[in-house]
Every structure is written in structure tokens, then in C-alpha cells.
């Protein structure tokens, strides 16, 4: 199949002149550029709602605090811990051991969240770097396409 397709393309190339094939390539490049720009705009428009949805899913998937298992006789405490809204009266009714368990649990949650934050910040920085590189590439390609268009526009009237 490959040799035949090469032959058919070579026949079609013989029918068209070099100028026509160049303009077809430029048109193809410009249409691809417009398509990519439209896709990028769509992706950027969807980024914020998708991020919000992901945050909601992660909140729902976040597992219950292990403190809830240690305080089964106080079910409202586990709910308050999940919402981070303990009242002084709740704390007053607890023993020192229970308070220490809550303290250590909160401390370990803080550490794990800090580690997660650092990882996410590193990922964000990498993504910003990639984005900057892509923007520079897009800018270079746009300049190249504009110079090609100018070059072709200058070439056409001369002939």
C-alpha cells in the first residue's frame, strides 16, 4: 500500500506547481495553528471548573479522621473534627488522653498536608515552566507564519 500511496502523491505533486504546494502547506499550517489555538482556548476555559470539581471529589474522598474511631462514644466530636469546628465545651468534657490523641492526629494531618502542598507547588512550578516554554514556541511559530505570509505576499505580485 505504501508504494502506491507514494506514487499517487508524486503524480499529484507533478500536477501542481511548487507555488501551489507551498501555499497548500502554508494553508495547512495556518489551519492547524487556528485549530490548536481554539483547542487551547477551550482547555483554558475548562480548567477552572475542572479544578473545582477535582477539589470537591478530593474533599469527598478524604477519609475520616482516625480520632473518630478512638472516640466512639462521642459521635458529634468526629463530625466536628472533620469540619474543624470543635467547641470549648466539647474539649472540656474530654480526658487528657483523648485531647492528646486529637492533638497528635491534627499534628500528623498538618505534616501530611504540608508535604502534599510542597509536592503540589513543585508540580505547579514545573507546569508553569512548561507553559512558558510552550508560549515561547507558539510565539516563535506565529512569527514564522507571519514572515512566511509576508514572504508569499511579496512573491505573488512580482509574478
Tens digits of per-residue pLDDT, 76-109? Answer: 666 666 666 777 887 788 888 888 888 888 898 8
Residue among 150, 159, 140 at smallest CA distance from 18: 159
pTM of the model: 0.49
- Say how far apart CA 41 and CA 35 lie, in whole Å: 10
Contact 105, 65 (CB under 8 A): yes
DSSP conformational letter for 109: H
Amino acid at each position: 500500500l505504501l508504494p502506491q500511496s507514494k506514487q499517487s502523491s508524486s503524480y499529484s505533486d507533478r500536477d501542481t506547481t511548487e507555488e501551489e504546494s507551498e501555499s497548500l502547506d502554508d494553508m495547512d499550517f495556518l489551519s492547524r495553528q487556528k485549530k490548536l489555538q481554539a483547542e487551547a482556548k477551550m482547555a483554558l476555559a475548562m480548567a477552572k471548573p475542572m479544578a473545582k470539581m477535582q477539589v470537591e471529589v478530593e474533599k469527598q474522598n478524604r477519609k475520616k479522621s482516625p480520632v473518630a474511631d478512638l472516640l466512639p462514644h462521642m459521635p458529634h466530636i468526629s463530625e466536628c473534627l472533620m469540619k474543624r469546628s470543635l467547641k470549648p465545651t466539647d474539649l472540656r468534657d474530654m480526658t487528657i488522653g483523648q485531647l492528646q490523641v486529637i492533638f497528635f492526629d491534627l499534628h500528623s494531618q498538618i505534616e501530611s498536608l504540608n508535604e502534599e502542598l510542597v509536592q503540589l507547588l513543585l508540580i505547579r512550578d514545573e507546569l508553569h515552566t512548561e507553559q512558558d516554554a510552550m508560549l515561547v514556541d507558539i510565539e516563535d511559530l506565529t512569527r514564522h507564519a507571519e514572515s512566511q505570509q509576508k514572504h508569499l505576499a511579496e512573491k505573488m505580485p512580482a509574478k
